């Protein structure tokens, strides 16, 4: 059985930080070599998080203010809340695609646009998978 220690975790975090820093340097060189500029119009696509936060707050307010009087009202409320939760989840996944598209469009990478979008998507997926695995390992070890 493999014994997990905090020093291994810290070394892994340093390696991930170095890789993230390297990727940041690559994108910085893209920005300086291809003359990217930012204005309010180009940053509008990054305001998606506020919209998702507002949808979630609205859903929470609706669920707290349900006036349930009978069994059919309770079941209807549950179905309605399940549908709204599913809609928020799907909109969150769609938000990731829109934000990635906005980032790639801001990059003006020309023929490399699809490659950069694939790279960004791959990095996010890897980060999520590694985060889930680390959370499972940390929970298992405790």
- For the chain, the domains span 54-64+71-141
The pLDDT-based confidence of 5 (bands split at 50, 70, 90) is confident
Residue 91 exposed, middle or buried by CB count within 10 Å (0-12, 13-18, 19+): middle
C-alpha closest to that of 123 among 50, 31, 8, 24 = 24
Q: What's this model's pTM, rounded to 2 decimal places?
A: 0.41
For residues 42 and 22, what is the distance between their CA atoms, to the nearest angstrom?
25
User: Per residue in 25-58, pLDDT tens?
Assistant: 887 787 777 766 655 555 665 566 777 778 778 7
As a whole number of angstroms, the distance between CA 22 and CA 45 comes to: 25
Q: CA-CA distance, 84 to 21, in Å (whole number)?
A: 38
Structural contact between residues 117 and 64, judged by C-beta atoms closer than 8 angstroms: no
pLDDT digits (tens, 9 = 90+) for 58-76: 777 776 766 656 777 777 7
| Inter-residue contact 68 to 136 (CB < 8 Å) | no
Q: Mean per-residue pLDDT for 1-30?
A: 81
Q: Mean of the per-residue pLDDT values for the chain?
A: 76
User: Residue 132 pLDDT > 60, yes or no?
Assistant: yes
């Amino acid at each position: 059985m493999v014994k997990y220690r905090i020093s291994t975790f810290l070394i892994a975090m340093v390696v991930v930080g170095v890789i993230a820093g390297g990727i940041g340097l690559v994108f910085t060189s893209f920005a300086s070599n291809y003359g990217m500029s930012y204005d309010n119009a180009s940053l509008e696509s990054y305001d998606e998080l506020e919209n998702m936060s507002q949808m979630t707050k609205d859903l929470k307010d609706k669920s707290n203010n349900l006036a349930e009087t009978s069994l059919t009202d309770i079941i209807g409320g549950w179905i309605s809340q399940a549908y709204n939760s599913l809609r928020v989840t799907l909109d969150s996944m769609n938000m990731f695609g829109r934000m990635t598209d906005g980032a790639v469009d801001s990059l003006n990478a020309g023929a490399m646009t699809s490659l950069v979008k694939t790279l960004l998507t791959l990095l996010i997926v890897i980060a999520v998978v590694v985060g889930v695995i680390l959370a499972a390992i940390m929970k298992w070890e405790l």
